[in-house]
Structure 1
């Protein structure tokens, strides 16, 4: 018998494991192990597949069935993925000038419907990129957090279209803010994004059994969608020869 860690043959029996299997110890590196262990680390391909499936509208139990893994392992993988997601939108750098932004808030909940978690979103009306996001209540503080999540160039230059929710009025500079109705069409892009987000995220469906029990996972799943959405959008704009993408690629 050879130690899989250091390759040593200086191995002896060392009691039994909690499952009753013979335990061995390597006297060179100190590693303890059993022969033919029941638990095996998951292959890299399985982890990559689970991470891709987390972008889709599939509950964790469905991912476990599709990948033939345990729900507890999938939950642990999801927890680690959501924890590592950056909570800042990556957008194409914009020069100062005429910029247009659309904002809206989307109802959701965590653990139970009484625990409302509103998803505040802002997009660039030209490129459709998600440029800001905040998850919280429906107060002025959340509207302010959304405003502060925008890149500086938007806070300095952009004209912002929102609905009539009063929290926006006290946060966005009045000269650059306009409250409009849905029939105006000036918030149609952000409303369409809300539909896409509900379509892509099982936990955001109004009547769902796939809700998050941890706020960190709820927030992480939404940011995971935002990064994937913006990445796909940049690829699409690049194929279409969008001038901002051409400038970006030339400079960096």
Structure 2
């Protein structure tokens, strides 16, 4: 089998990072579906290892956290009757922690939305920070114990609780529209958070970026992940692209440069080089958790 060149790998990875499906990429590049899928897996592993090793000791002031929903193989309600459903099928949540100033994703985790995952997520986040931060989450109760366990009293933590109601008093005809937000409530949990910075706006905007740049997150399509492992690889690749390659429109540099984690603008070819370098080290394992779920 012919080996892809750095340029060919870079092109495929760029298409993946810009939200194109695997089948569309095969039509455009002539590469086989298996070739594209394997490159995604290899790139996801390499990106996860790089993020884990290099996104450390970050000086941040305001950190926002959130979770974004997707599903693997079948929606949760259909898993019981789905044919040959793999382990990890059903609801798949991606936890993200974003530095509100540099817009860098500091930590992420693919898996469930329960208290155990919240603790893994917060333990990983605190290990990457260099100083005390102001932390804002939504009203998810799992954060309460997880933040206390990871940060103790060394954090200014608040929750932004959104209040929802029916849209204009109408019935549930708006099936695919979000419920109307009728108000918010800011709740101090630990320390003395500045009310002016109690917000989840930036991390929620990042959720939209994820849906736009990863085909697996697009709603109402057949592009969803069939394996949770591949879903985790796609997330790892996206985070690397977003942090190091994609120039933020407002900052005019990449988030990694704004956060002081990188001193240069990366190119897609640099991610392809990570894959090539990893191939020189057979047997090296990345920071993967059970069922292919990944924490970084």
Q: Is TM (by shorter chain) over 0.5?
A: yes
Kept in 2, the 8 Å contact 1:59–1:210? The answer is yes
Change (3 A) 1:239 1:136: closer
Q: Which moved more, 1:207-216 or 1:59-68?
A: 207-216
Deviations 1:19-67 (A, max 9, x none): xxxxxxxxxxxxxxxxxxxx65545432332122221211100000000
1:83 equivalent among 23, 35, 45: 45
Tell me what 1:221 maps to. Answer: 234
Distance 1:243 1:47 in 2: 27
Q: Which entry has the higher C-alpha Rg, 1 or 2?
A: 1
| Greater RCO, 1 or 2 (C-alpha within 8 Å, sep 6+) | 2
- Structure 1 residue 238: deviation in Å? 5.1
TM alignment of 1:84-103, pairs within 5 A: 84-86=46-48, 88=51, 90-91=54-55, 93-95=57-59, 99-103=61-65
Kept in 2, the 8 Å contact 1:121–1:132? The answer is yes
Asked if 1:48 is matched to 2:10, the reply is yes
Change (3 A) 1:228 1:153: closer
Tell me what 2:290 maps to. Answer: none
Task: Please list every run of 5 or more consecutive structure 1 residues that lacks an aligned counterpart in the other structure.
Answer: 1-38
Tell me what 1:125 maps to. Answer: 100
1:152 equivalent among 127, 130, 148: 127
SS for the counterpart of 2:103 is: coil
TM alignment of 1:61-72, pairs within 5 A: 61-72=23-34
- Aligned Cα root-mean-square deviation (Å): 3.0
Distance 2:258 2:224 in 1: 40
- Structure 1 residue 156: deviation in Å? 5.5
Change (3 A) 1:227 1:212: same
Task: Please list every run of 5 or more consecutive structure 2 residues that lacks an aligned counterpart in the other structure.
Answer: 77-89, 163-183, 187-197, 264-296
SS for the counterpart of 1:117 is: strand
What stretches of structure 1 move > 6 A for 4+ residues in a row?
none
Asked if 1:141 is matched to 2:116, the reply is yes
TM-score norm. by structure 2 comes to 0.61
TM-score norm. by structure 1 comes to 0.71
SS for the counterpart of 1:172 is: helix
1:110 equivalent among 52, 68, 72: 72
How many pairs align?
A: 207
Q: Which moved more, 1:201-210 or 1:100-109?
A: 201-210
